[in-house]
Amino acid sequence: MSRWPRRAQYLLLIVWAVFTAMPFLWAITTSFKDVNAVQGHVTYVPWLEFEPTLEAWRQIFGGAGGVNLVGPFVNSLIITVCASAIAIVLGALAAYGLSRFRYRIGPAKNKDIVFFFVSQRIMPPVVLVIPFFFLLQMPGLLDTRLGLIIVTVALLLPIAVWVMVDFFDNIPREIDEMAMLEGCTPMQAFLRAIVPNSAPGLTVAAMFCAVFGWNDFFFAFRLTFTQVQTLPQAVVALNSSIPPWWTLSAAALFGIIPLLVLAVLVERYLSKGNLAGAVR
């Protein structure tokens, strides 16, 4: 066999790896710069081209002249965790039902109901955000964590249902039938026989929900203002064409650290050979 495919393969991978890494490298170096290292000419290499400083990192944790990102971080964490938990509970229940029972709502059968859930992903956030604004305003939920949790569930529920239906379909239904014969109500059968065996499916659903929940910007941007700021919102607020780029960079990195940890976990999961099963 000729050698060119192998060379092309490595060339492509290296180019793409560099391209992928570029914004991260830029953000990392910039987060250690000060005004002198940003203005004037472009600098890349710390110590050689500029003197690194921890000033930006001090600023994002409430240092003088900075902003405190701990509050937004906590907000993002609470909203993501709560919304994911609600979406997964509701999604897993619905998915289990759809996987085990035959439903009929008007002309819609199980497949159509699943499609109905999943199809909500097509809804652009901005289309929902306008009515949400008024619907949350009335009960006084604008600019509250609870309000944002509720709307984030809308974002995550279709994902949770989609992942879990597929997963439950692959668990033999004899297991829960047997649990029923052994004295479990269907709900107990679900909780005692199926949920303990659903760790992989729940993990995937949780990872999806965590990423989409954490990354939401539009809902937070329009539905919360001063009281409750999420991390992406806080980072974008720092964005301006005029530097202090160092704070922005440090803030950006801080905002994606949980996601980097997740990325490593996802890779671990994928390397266990779960990828091929993802598409059938």
Q: Residue 66 CB, nearest distance to other proteins (Å)?
A: 16
Cβ nearer to other proteins, comparing 64 with 276: 276
Q: In this structure, what token pair is assigned to residue 52?
A: 């690194």
Cβ nearer to other proteins, comparing 68 with 274: 274
Determine the interface stretch with other proteins among 48-56, 64-72, 87-95, 138-146 (rule: CB under 8 A): 87-95
CB-CB neighbours of 34 under 10 Å: 16
d(CA 78, CA 89): 16
Q: Residue 14 CB, nearest distance to other proteins (Å)?
A: 10
d(CA 233, CA 216): 9
Query: Which H or E element spans position 137?
Result: helix 125-137
Query: Which H or E element spans position 209?
Result: helix 199-215
β-bridge partners, 244:
none
Q: What are phi and psi of 276, to 5 degrees?
A: -60, -30
Strands 108-109 and 104-105: antiparallel
Determine the interface stretch with other proteins among 11-19, 50-58, 59-67, 139-147 (rule: CB under 8 A): 11-19
Asked if 78 touches other proteins (CB under 8 A), the answer is no
Asked if 77 touches other proteins (CB under 8 A), the answer is no
d(CA 77, CA 56): 22
DSSP string, 165-227: HHHHHTS-HHHHHHHHHTT--HHHHIIIIIGGG-HHHHHHHHHHHHHHHHH--HHHHHH--SS
Asked if 38 touches other proteins (CB under 8 A), the answer is yes
Cβ nearer to other proteins, comparing 63 with 186: 186
Amino acid at 235: V
Cβ nearer to other proteins, comparing 61 with 218: 218
Given 79, 82, 142, 150, the residue binding other proteins (CB under 8 A): 150
Asked if 122 touches other proteins (CB under 8 A), the answer is yes
Site string for other proteins, 124-143 (x = CB under 8 A): xxxxxxxxxxxx--------
Asked if 161 touches other proteins (CB under 8 A), the answer is yes
Given 157, 204, 205, 228, the residue binding other proteins (CB under 8 A): 157
Given 63, 71, 200, 243, the residue binding other proteins (CB under 8 A): 243
Per the CB < 8 A criterion, the answer to whether 226 and 238 are in contact is: no
d(CA 20, CA 90): 36
Determine the interface stretch with other proteins among 35-43, 55-63, 66-74, 139-147 (rule: CB under 8 A): 35-43
Given 12, 35, 54, 191, the residue binding other proteins (CB under 8 A): 12
Q: In this structure, what token pair is assigned to residue 115?
A: 């499609």
Residues 193-222 that bind other proteins (CB under 8 A): 193, 196-197, 211, 214-215, 217-218, 222
Given 46, 63, 71, 186, the residue binding other proteins (CB under 8 A): 186
